Structure 1
Amino acid sequence: MKCLICHDSGRPMYCAHCMSSSPNLLLTLKIDLLMLRETNVHLKSRVEDILEYGLSRIAEEGGDEPVPNVEGDILGKRLRKLDSLVLRKKNNKIRYRISQLRQRIDQKTHKITMLNAEVRKQCFMNSSKREAVLKKNHSDQAGVEVKQQLLQIKKVLLKSQLVKIRSLVDWFVIRKRDSYEFPYTLSFQPVVSLKNVYKLPPSVVWGSIMTMFRYLTLFSELLFFTLPHKEPAIPNIVNMELETSIKTPDESTSDDAGIMDHLTKLLINIVQVSRHLNLISQEPIDLAWMLDQNDLDTLFYNMAMRLETKSKPVSHHWTYPQILAVVSDALQLSSVYATSPTSRRTLTGTLANNNDHWFVVR
């Protein structure tokens, strides 16, 4: 065909009849395809005949007589050999499994023999050992009974302790009052603290310290706890007011140091008793921070009422000089104030404008 515009020849075009009948186009390929299909059909029938004959020869014994199908005979021999190999492999697995089971049977037999020997040995245990076992069982049972009795006694003791502690609080008349400077009283006396010690007469201060130590002594005896510092010798407070008025500044400073020492020992006793009651952490704590948050009177009241007190842990243990320095700083008894006593109010003085007066009643 030629293009109607440029009259140049393009690709050839054939009709359906030429495509089907021309030997130079598709006819040759069709003939080859048909011959290949016929060959495949013939080979397929041949393979099926050989396979069928070979499968039929598996169960038959091979002989020397000629066979009509040599390929089928060869296939039958190969299949018989394959079956024999598979059967041999299966028999080997079964034989190995049987050997394993025999070993396990032998092991179990040996274990049974050992257990029987152990049972016979236990059966022939002499009477003395049996008596020892019986005594041990009896002692264990007695120990359990003793533990139960101790638990009951402990419960009774704790109950009795709580009753006595409540009675001790009522006996010493520990009260909380609506006052910022003196929020707690003990035996109708103010509970001395580091912030109010300047505002109390010396007789009241020493009376409060003496009563607090007496309460701690009785409280520790109820708890079966040994105080780190025993009740100190308190000076006679009957004529203390008269003696204070005639004392020099150096003698007043000496009294301040004595009060500071007693307050330090009082603080140590309160902290240790609170730790014994699990009211304060058993780990080292920051005493300066705790005194800043809760003064000595609050710590004493929390201990008496068995209230927990917040604390902040530290990495070191406190010594007595360190605690004394903390109390000294809280009382503002530094070396500057010690050298210039006129610049501060001493412990033996009272505030002129203090309306909450306290006295020791004889």
Structure 2
Amino acid sequence: MQCSICHKSDRPMYCSHCMSSSPRLLLKLKIDLLVLRETNSHLKSRVEDILEYGLSQIAGKELESKSANVEGDILGRRLQKLDSLILRKKNNRVRYRISQLNNRIYEKKCKVKDLHSELQLPSKIALNEEKLKSTRENQELTISEGRQQLMQIRKVLLRSQLSKIRSLVEWFVIRKRESYEFPYTLAFQPIISLRNVYKLPSSVVWGSISTMSRYLKLFAEILFFTLPHGELVAPYAPELELEMSAKTTGENSNDENTIVDHLTKIFINIVQISRHLNLISKDPIDLAWMLDQNDLDTLFYNMTMRLETKSKPVFYHWTYPQILSIVSEALQLSSVYATSPVSRQTLTGTKTSNNDRWYVVR
């Protein structure tokens, strides 16, 4: 084929007839292709023969043709070597697995052996339980010994307290007399009664209050008990008559309030000590009812002689103003005594005749 401009040939062009018939073009290529196909078929049959021979050697079979086949021998040897390597790898893998199982079996044997040895010896739990049991027994023994010692100390302390209380009763000469108005005496003085206190001169009232307060303080010290109200201070007795005669009505009323306050505090101290000695119930009780049934002197005497006092339970607690009101009612300062000048003069001690004076009572 030529160019239309330079008229030079770029590549040759042939017609279909020339291509099919000319020996210089496609015929030679066809012949070469046929030869190549024949050669490939021959090589294929040769390779198949070599593979069959090599595989037969691996399998241990004998072929009918006994012609020498060098390539087949080489392939057979190499295939045998490959099989041996595969078998060796597989054997190594199996051997490693067997070693692992042997190690696990050995560990389990060791564990079983240890468990058998632990079963033969006392277990740690049993040892701990025995140790705890022995410790508990020692603690219980120590506690029991401590309780016994405490009981002995308590008995000794109780005997000592009872001895001191008897000595205190003898020291203060607490007596019960055959008298309706003042049946009890303390240190040769009448223990004041809320109903009959107006019958006593002030010096005797204050002396009785002071002695009762001193006794309560010593009694509480013996019992190791803290009183709600400490020892009460009373006026000096010899100067009391002169002071009372010089005071006005308003000042006398203040003294009456002071007496009520002191008697209220003594009443509270007596109730608390009686509760401490289990002579009165520790639950809330009706103090008004108890004071109506047992006057202040009777409560004081029962406390000193450790006699039980009947009480009536209530559902509320008392306050100091309420107790003060109860004592005031018992003294009748707000009603009877306030309207009776004679009684007020007797209570405040303005009567100075010898008939109103108290002497030593036997």
Instruction: Tell me whether the two structures share a fold, i.e. TM-score over 0.5.
Output: yes
The match for 2:256 is: 256
Higher helix share: 2
The match for 2:321 is: 321
- Cα distance change on mapping 1:344 and 1:196 into 2, 3 Å: closer
What amino acid does structure 2 have at the position aligned with 1:321?
A: P
The match for 2:271 is: 271
Q: Indicate the SS of the match to 1:185.
A: strand
Distance 2:289 2:351 in 1: 27
Q: Indicate the SS of the match to 2:228.
A: coil
Distance 1:179 1:241 in 2: 26
Asked if structure 2 preserves the Cα contact closer than 8 Å seen for 1:207 and 1:360, the reply is no
The match for 1:358 is: 358
Asked if structure 2 preserves the Cα contact closer than 8 Å seen for 1:201 and 1:359, the reply is no
Asked if structure 1 preserves the Cα contact closer than 8 Å seen for 2:174 and 2:185, the reply is yes
The match for 2:197 is: 197
Question: Offset at 1:138?
Answer: 2.1
What amino acid does structure 1 have at the position aligned with 2:261?
A: D
- Cα distance change on mapping 1:360 and 1:348 into 2, 3 Å: farther
Distance 1:280 1:209 in 2: 22
The match for 1:291 is: 291
Distance 1:343 1:205 in 2: 17
Q: Deviations over 1:49-88 (max 9, x none)?
A: xxxxxxxxxxxxxxxxxxxxxxxxxxxxxxxxxxxxxxxx
Distance 2:221 2:121 in 1: 55
Asked if structure 2 preserves the Cα contact closer than 8 Å seen for 1:204 and 1:360, the reply is no
The match for 2:151 is: 151
The match for 2:175 is: 175
- Cα distance change on mapping 1:131 and 1:184 into 2, 3 Å: same
Question: 1:103-182, aligned counterparts within 5 Å?
Answer: 120=119, 123-125=122-124, 131=131, 133-182=133-182
Question: Offset at 1:315?
Answer: 1.9
- Cα distance change on mapping 1:359 and 1:246 into 2, 3 Å: farther
Asked if structure 1 preserves the Cα contact closer than 8 Å seen for 2:203 and 2:349, the reply is no
What amino acid does structure 1 have at the position aligned with 2:344?
A: R
Asked if structure 2 preserves the Cα contact closer than 8 Å seen for 1:200 and 1:350, the reply is no
Q: Deviations over 1:326-358 (max 9, x none)?
A: 1111111117855x5737424213789996841
What amino acid does structure 1 have at the position aligned with 2:173?
A: V
Distance 1:323 1:121 in 2: 77
Q: Deviations over 1:229-249 (max 9, x none)?
A: 111222222200111111111
Distance 2:267 2:121 in 1: 65
Q: Indicate the SS of the match to 1:123.
A: coil
| Aligned residue pair count | 244
Q: Any unmatched runs of 5+ in structure 1?
A: 1-115
Return the TM-score normalized by structure 2.
0.61
Question: Offset at 1:122?
Answer: 9.0
Q: Deviations over 1:242-262 (max 9, x none)?
A: 111111111111100000000
Return the TM-score normalized by structure 1.
0.61
The match for 1:209 is: 209
Give the number of the structure whose alpha-carbon radius of gyration is greater: 2
The match for 1:111 is: none
Root-mean-square deviation (CA, aligned residues, Å) is 3.0
Identical-pair percentage? 64
Distance 2:335 2:284 in 1: 28
Asked if structure 1 preserves the Cα contact closer than 8 Å seen for 2:201 and 2:348, the reply is yes
Q: Deviations over 1:185-218 (max 9, x none)?
A: 0000110111221111111111110110111111
The match for 1:187 is: 187
Q: Deviations over 1:144-199 (max 9, x none)?
A: 11111111111111111111111110010000111111111000011011122111
Question: Offset at 1:139?
Answer: 2.6
Q: Any unmatched runs of 5+ in structure 2?
A: 1-114
Asked if structure 1 preserves the Cα contact closer than 8 Å seen for 2:271 and 2:280, the reply is yes
Q: Indicate the SS of the match to 1:327.
A: helix
Q: Does 1:246 align with 2:220?
A: no
Distance 2:121 2:238 in 1: 84
What amino acid does structure 2 have at the position aligned with 1:345?
A: R
Distance 2:192 2:317 in 1: 26
Distance 1:156 1:343 in 2: 54
Distance 1:274 1:288 in 2: 16
Q: Deviations over 1:288-332 (max 9, x none)?
A: 221111110010000000111112222211110000001111111
- Cα distance change on mapping 1:133 and 1:263 into 2, 3 Å: same
Q: Indicate the SS of the match to 2:269.
A: helix
Asked if structure 1 preserves the Cα contact closer than 8 Å seen for 2:244 and 2:350, the reply is no
- Cα distance change on mapping 1:138 and 1:328 into 2, 3 Å: same
Q: Deviations over 1:25-71 (max 9, x none)?
A: xxxxxxxxxxxxxxxxxxxxxxxxxxxxxxxxxxxxxxxxxxxxxxx
Asked if structure 2 preserves the Cα contact closer than 8 Å seen for 1:199 and 1:349, the reply is no
- Cα distance change on mapping 1:136 and 1:358 into 2, 3 Å: same
Q: Indicate the SS of the match to 1:345.
A: helix
